[in-house]
Amino acid sequence: MKKILAVTAATLFCAGLSNAQIGRTFDWYTAAGDNQRTGWEKSDTKFTKEGVKDFSLITQMKLETKGKGSNELMPPLVFGTLIGYRGFKELGFVTSAAGEVWAIDVDLDTVYWERHLDLPKTKKTSANCPGDVTSQPTMEPGATFGGRRKKGAASSSREDFWKKIFAPRPLYLLASDGKLYRLDTSTGKDMAPPVAVMPAGADASNLLANDGVIYTTTSAGCAGAPNALWQVDLNGDTPKIASFPSPTPEGFAGRNGVLLGSDDEIYAQTTNTLQILSPTDLKPQATFSGALGKVSPVAFNYKDRDVLVTAGNNGSLFLLDTKALNLPMFQSAPLITSEDSSIIGLATWETAEGTRWVLAAVKGPSVEAPTAPHGAIVAYQLTEEDGKPTLKHMWTSEDVSMPETPVIANGVVFALSAGEAKKKGKLGGHATLYAFDGDTGKEIYSTRDQVTAPANLSGVTIANGRVFFTTTDSTLWGFGYHLEH
């Protein structure tokens, strides 16, 4: 009996470590991979720059859905090690605007479970108000032991660590009925009754979860929902809903909505303000004002400071210290050359030697990409000149038509061309996944003509040696390595 218990304990310990390295996890638990919206998978060591050329098609799964539209399927969230009733699984959770959820066993390339929410039909009122939900769901960050602590917080105890490993970990989903659902990641069943948060048909940004509190933002005034930042506290017997009204009529900007600082400060942006809000009462703590773009910022730590990078409407990049938000540490020259150009996404990563990179996905021509008329990934390095932080342009990729925000792992930048831009916002052609050397911008991999449809404009996922995205024909695509477990 003692031998059995020892083997069981060892097995569970290994499972815990596989999903919770010191300060790291193997999950892609929210949009852009983490609550700072960096797009960086920090723990992936399943491939090298030299090995990316050996990537192959590992998933091409058609998912039957009732919905329609270019944002129909979200890219998957990845739960690296689910300890479920059928053993250890790596699951990818794909959702549709019509309220369908699929749990995909990414090792076996099969559906583990699926759930179809019974939702009332909502009416499309404009191009900005599709009626269906277009936000990506979220999970809580995985368990970590060690790593950087919040200021003033005690070190994580082993008891807290193991509680988090074995505690139920819901998939949080905001559906078109305006309700927040908590689904069991093992079965897809409701873990608690759904919570009515906002009017049905509201246009909400991608969700974020932190210690039982869920965040999103709304814009465009869809379905009469106020344009606001929303906070749903699920701790306690009764959920508590709070909101902070947008300081501009258009609402909050950026598909990713909210991001968090190292002490859980809330960062959210409109087209003329970037604000820091208190997580306890949503009161503004600091504001940066300017002509900003419709893109979500990214956050990272630099010399023990929380730093934000965001974009102006002319393509300038602002480097902001959250302790002195109103005065930029650095502002780059404008990147945009025409009304047809825009920065559509930002990402950031750091080398093992501590070099910080910032990436901008640009749609259309730009100053730094004269030979890439349809779009490109533009890379900057955070350096110092005369003791002041500076973003220095280092490389620009080849032409990438309709680029999605890049994702990064192990020094490789993965960029998705969604397809060819057509009239009235339509996409033609087919999606192409590129891999660029993060230090030089040199192309080291491309899917070329393997993908047969344009991509949904909903993002890219990377986890455990695999890159996933979805296309407008309701297909989940995955490229990478077939891994042995």
Residue 145 has pLDDT above 60, yes or no: no
What integer best gives the mean pLDDT of the chain?
88
| pLDDT per position as a tens digit, 425-466 | 789 999 999 999 999 999 999 999 999 999 999 999 999 999
pLDDT class of 243 with cuts at 50, 70, 90: very high
Using CA atoms, how far residue 116 sits from 64, 431, 452, in Å, is 11, 28, 27
- The answer to whether residue 428 is domain-embedded is yes
Phi, psi of 67, deg, nearest 5: -80, 170
pLDDT for the residue numbered 261:
95
Q: How many Cβ atoms are within 10 Å of 284's Cβ, its own excluded? A: 13
> How many domains, in total, are found in the chain?
1
Burial state string for 372-382 with b = 16 or more CB within 10 A and e = fewer than 16 = bebbbbbbbbb
C-alpha atoms less than 13 angstroms from C-alpha of 464 in its C-beta half-sphere: 23
Q: Give the whole-angstrom CA distance, residue 336 versus residue 292.
A: 13
In this structure, what CATH number is given to the domain that contains residue 260?
2.140.10.10
Residue 149 has pLDDT above 70, yes or no: no
Q: Which amino acid is at 267?
A: Y
In the block, which residue shows the tokens 């304990």? Answer: 9
Q: Where are the beta strands (DSSP E) in 212-279?
A: 213-217, 228-233, 240-245, 259-260, 266-269, 273-277
In the block, which residue shows the tokens 């998957």? Answer: 76
pTM (2 d.p.): 0.91
Pairing mode, strands 100-105 and 110-116: antiparallel
Q: Which residues partner with 95 through β-bridges?
A: 101
Q: Give the whole-angstrom CA distance, residue 128 versus residue 21.
A: 41
In the block, which residue shows the tokens 């023990």? Answer: 304
Q: How many Cβ atoms are within 10 Å of 118's Cβ, its own excluded? A: 7
- The answer to whether residue 485 is domain-embedded is no
Phi, psi of 51, deg, nearest 5: -85, -15
pLDDT over 70 percentage in the chain: 87
pLDDT over 90 percentage in the chain: 73
In the block, which residue shows the tokens 């060892």? Answer: 10
Instruction: Tell me which of 469 and 68 has the higher pLDDT.
Output: 469
| pLDDT per position as a tens digit, 10-65 | 444 444 444 444 334 489 999 999 999 999 999 888 899 999 999 999 999 999 88
Enclosing domain of residue 228? 2-480
On whether the CB atoms of residues 123 and 201 are closer than 8 A, the answer is yes
Read out DSSP for 268-290? Answer: EE-SSEEEEE-TTT--EEEEEES
Question: Mean of the pLDDT values across residues 159-174?
Answer: 72
Q: Which residues partner with 101 through β-bridges?
A: 95, 115
pLDDT for the residue numbered 484:
55
Task: Tell me which DSSP letter residue 37 carries.
Answer: -
pLDDT for the residue numbered 127:
72
pLDDT class of 159 with cuts at 50, 70, 90: low
- The answer to whether residue 250 is domain-embedded is yes
Q: Which residues partner with 442 through β-bridges?
A: none
Conformation bin of residue 449: beta by default, left when phi > 0, alpha when psi is -120 to 50 = alpha
Phi, psi of 6, deg, nearest 5: -65, -45
| pLDDT per position as a tens digit, 334-361 | 998 788 899 999 999 999 999 999 999 9
pLDDT for the residue numbered 133:
77
Q: How many Cβ atoms are within 10 Å of 237's Cβ, its own excluded? A: 4
Burial state string for 48-82 with b = 16 or more CB within 10 A and e = fewer than 16 = ebeebeebeebbebebebebebbbbbbbbbbbbbb
Using CA atoms, how far residue 120 sits from 131, 176, 187, 293, 390, in Å, is 11, 8, 23, 34, 51
